[in-house]
A = this chain, B = another copy of it.
């Protein structure tokens, strides 16, 4: 900063060139028209990479595009790598490295990495996730912005071999090199969950003025998703829900689902959702049914989905434990979804998490009730490694996407 010696106790220099130490990464947050000048300084100083936070490039028309061309030219000449412009950049929870200017809450370390073509992710979205879903853990968060230099496939390539990343989530408005992305995505052994906007004519126009992205044809992107076994989602909520399911639970080895719900209406909704998600309702074995009948009033039927409330009214919490474990042991069952109601009076079912993990089958939970009680329960479950969804339809739709991915990956069921 040429106008200050010190800001918030940090020493300032008039130019990057005046900094005495070596610089690995510079964060450039000056008006776009000054960016070329700062880039020249960085080149002279031998900076290896920059994150350009500023907007006002090709997304804002011809003037901005001209500045962009200058910036690319300097980068090519000097070998500087650029993230952005128009992004808040990178966060790495393992090393504590962060380029975002947004005030962020503490984010849990974990095995989900996100690549997003929007600064939003490192600001508002992370703030929302940290507050609504503090049990979800992240490893790398990468804001791509206008992508004038570093591209999706390069970041993807890094994350595929990153030992701390188990699941890759992506938000994309357009690809600069779709072929390269396809080739890298295809070889990934890790699940890639992708939310692409800019799908319609309206959306493409909006993407052009947001990140100067060329949207491409949506049918082609659909085909790419199928061939590269990408998990396509249609909102940030879904991106997070599918990612956390994959991060926390094993993959299902078949399509047969068992469902426990605390209401009959939830059972009907669940049954529809199983059907429309391309899953199957498991036929419970006689042994399983027999075990469940021991905690069932004689007038009530044992079905899948299982309406558990009449059982809870007679036998308290026990039917939840018995039914969950009996279903997990049943070889006709590949995965289960368990819906719990909690309230100020009824605190909800609290399973023995370690025991549930022994079955090595995916278990998804649903929690419904007043907002504070649901939040408390969700934190407890998710901190113990079990994903919680807001309703049974959502949970089953997520399971459907994960199951389809698993089937393709293993070329089976």
Residues of A at the B interface (CB closer than 8 Å) are: 31-32, 55-56, 59-61, 63-64, 103, 105, 116-120, 124, 127-128, 130-132, 171, 173, 197-203, 205-207, 209-211, 234-237, 262-272, 274-276, 281, 299-301, 303, 305, 307, 310, 341, 343, 345, 368-372, 375, 390-391, 393
Contacts and interface: CB of A to CB of B under 8 A. Distances in A.
Given A206-B303, A235-B393, A370 B171 contact: no
A69 B86 CA distance: 70
B203 A235 contact: no
Contacts of A266: 120
A301 B59 CA distance: 9
A339 to B, nearest CB: 11
A201 to B, nearest CB: 7
Contacts of A60: 299-301
B391 A271 contact: no
Output the residue of A31, A343, A372 with the most chain B CB within 10 A: A343
A207 B103 contact: no
A210 B120 contact: no
Contacts of A276: 199-200
A272 B131 contact: no
A203 B200 CA distance: 33
Output the residue of A210, A274, A310 with the most chain B CB within 10 A: A210
Stoichiometry, as copies per complex, reads: 2
12 contacts: A64-B299, A105-B370, A124-B369, A171-B265, A198-B268, A199-B272, A203-B269, A205-B271, A206-B272, A206-B305, A209-B301, A237-B390
A265 B120 contact: yes
Which 9 pairs from chain A and chain B are nearest by CB? A210-B264, A200-B275, A203-B272, A131-B370, A118-B265, A206-B271, A202-B271, A203-B271, A202-B275
Contacts of A371: 131-132, 371, 375
Nearest to A117: B265
A272 B207 CA distance: 10
Given A131-B371, A265-B171, A299-B32, A197 B124 contact: no
B118 A264 contact: yes
A197 B32 contact: no
A106 to B, nearest CB: 13
Given A206-B267, A236-B391, 12 more contacts: A120-B263, A124-B262, A132-B370, A197-B265, A197-B269, A197-B272, A203-B269, A206-B264, A210-B264, A210-B265, A235-B393, A237-B391
A408 to B, nearest CB: 23
A242 to B, nearest CB: 16
Contacts of A369: 124, 127-128, 131
Contacts of A300: 56, 60
A300 B59 CA distance: 9
A202 to B, nearest CB: 4
A90 B303 CA distance: 29
Contact of A391 (B31, B59, B205, B235): B235
B124 A263 contact: yes
A201 B343 contact: no
B343 A127 contact: yes
Contacts of A310: 55
A237 B393 CA distance: 11
A275 B201 contact: yes
A260 B210 CA distance: 14
A209 B303 contact: yes
Contacts of A198: 268, 271-272
Output the residue of A61, A128, A307, A372 with the most chain B CB within 10 A: A128
A127 B371 CA distance: 10
Given A55-B310, A173-B265, A272-B200, A127 B206 contact: no
Contacts of A368: 124, 128
